[in-house]
Amino acid sequence: GWQRCKGPELEALMDDLGLIDLAFLIECIEEGVPLPRQQEVPKGAIIAKDNLVKIKGGCGYGLAILVLSYPWRAKGHPDPNQLTCKRLLNVLKMFLKTAKKKGEHFTMGVMWDYLVLPQKKIDGTDDRTEAQKAKFGRALHTMNSWYMDHRTYVLVFDVEIDDPRPYLARGWCQFELRASGLIKDCRCLWSLAGYEAGGSPNEYYDVREAATCGASRKPPMAPPAFAEMLHEGSRTGTITFTAGKADLLVVVKQYELAFEGAFKKTVELDFQNLGWSDEEMKELARALTYANEKGLLNDTERLGIFGNYYTHEGLTAVVEAIEGTNITFI
């Protein structure tokens, strides 16, 4: 339920960010209506503190909150020709159907940046009020929480697109994917590529199996290593940012906040059955070493790594990383 999945922690962020009713989003896509920016979303389509009951029914194993991680297709609008929307439609309808199994009045709340953060006009003109700009800034700096949370669903738009900058060549997408993989329940990180490869099924459990098996989940990366990766990618042009260095600095800080927030409050870290080799286990070990040195593992009791393809070398790296903690293996 809402309490068990720690929904109130996200509720506290909703003073500056209202979610979008999934039913409204599906209606826009089916009618061929371009996605509206946040300022033009109808009030009745917003999930806020005063109508949170609409998403408290949950969805499958997680909260009835869907967070999208996807590449923008144009600078002024993320999906001007509705290519992203049309590709998402089937899986979005499945989510809504699953949420409504708890009752017809239930829905899912969607965290889609363009619809929840005050935006400039498509031509780049900034007609936002000072209050809207301030709201944008405050909400932007809590974005990490929506991706990092243990039980929000994150749907990764990791399919090939007709764009020279694929998903992993985008700085924000790198952040979203890495933050989503820190502590998230493995049943709540979904890959659109996996879903499509699995035949685009329509029932929740079939979709979940296809979409989670296809998720290319990477091990947690220590914040300094993540920052180094982005700076190097920006320097060589292999990773790009919409607003250049300003965005890069925001993303680096957001990942640091996500990492610290994730590890300092987690009792059990579950990285089982992810197919990781020694290289991934060493990456995990470096992240755990960083977390240990920062005192972020004081409340952590259990660590699961069973079902990965590591050898004694990978296991030793992880064991050494958690020395001095109270962590036991599960």
Cβ–Cβ < 8 Å for 183, 263:
yes
Interatomic CA distance for residues 28 and 210, integer angstroms: 26
Give the confidence band of 215 by pLDDT, cuts at 50, 70, 90. Answer: low
- Give the total residue count for the chain: 330
Mean pLDDT of 110-114: 98
Report the SS3 class of residue 59.
strand
Model pLDDT, residue 216: 75
- Measured CA to CA, the distance from residue 32 to residue 2 in angstroms comes to 33
Radius of gyration of the chain (CA): 19
pLDDT at 42: 98
DSSP state of 240: B
Give me 163's structure tokens: 């764009």
* pLDDT at residue 78, rounded to an integer: 94
Q: Which amino acid is at 40?
A: E
Q: Please answer whether residues 156 and 166 qualify as being in contact, where contact means their C-beta atoms are separated by less than 8 angstroms.
A: no
Structure tokens given for 262: 């994730």
Round the average pLDDT of the chain to a whole number and report it: 94
Per the listing, tokens 């004081």 go with 298
Q: Which residue has the tokens 């923008």?
A: 72
Q: Which residues contact 113 (CB under 8 A, 6 or more apart)?
A: 68, 78, 143
Are 248 and 242 a contacting pair, CB within 8 Å?
Answer: no
* Percentage of the residues of the chain whose pLDDT score is greater than 90: 88
Per-residue pLDDT tens for 262-287?
Answer: 999 899 999 999 999 999 999 999 99
- Summarised one tens digit per residue, pLDDT across range 163-214 is 778 999 999 999 999 999 999 998 999 999 999 999 999 999 999 999 987 6
Give me the residue spans of the domains in the chain. 7-265, 267-330
5-35 pLDDT, tens digit per residue, is: 889 999 999 999 999 999 999 999 999 999 9
Q: Which pLDDT band holds residue 245 (cuts at 50, 70, 90)? A: confident
Please tell me the predicted confidence (pLDDT) of residue 88: 97
Contact 202, 92 (CB under 8 A): no
Can you tell me the distance from the alpha carbon of 138 to that of 16, in angstroms, rounded to the nearest whole number?
A: 7
DSSP string, 252-274: HHHHHHHHHHHHHT-SEEE--SS
Measure Cα distances from 201 to 59, 126, 208, 252, 262 in Å.
Answer: 17, 41, 9, 36, 32
- 3 state SS of 191: strand
Quick one: what percent of the chain has pLDDT higher than 70? 99
- B/e letters for 247-259, b = 16+ CB within 10 Å, e = fewer, are bbebbbebbbbbb
Average pLDDT rounded to a whole number, residues 214-237: 92
List Cβ<8 Å contacts ≥24 apart for 99-106: 99/22, 99/55, 99/57, 99/58, 99/59, 99/64, 102/57, 102/58, 103/57, 105/53, 105/54, 106/54, 106/55, 106/56, 106/57, 106/64
Q: Angle at CA 82, nearest 5°, toward 78 and 84?
A: 70
Give 84: exposed, middle or buried? Use CB within 10 Å, 0-12, 13-18, 19+: buried
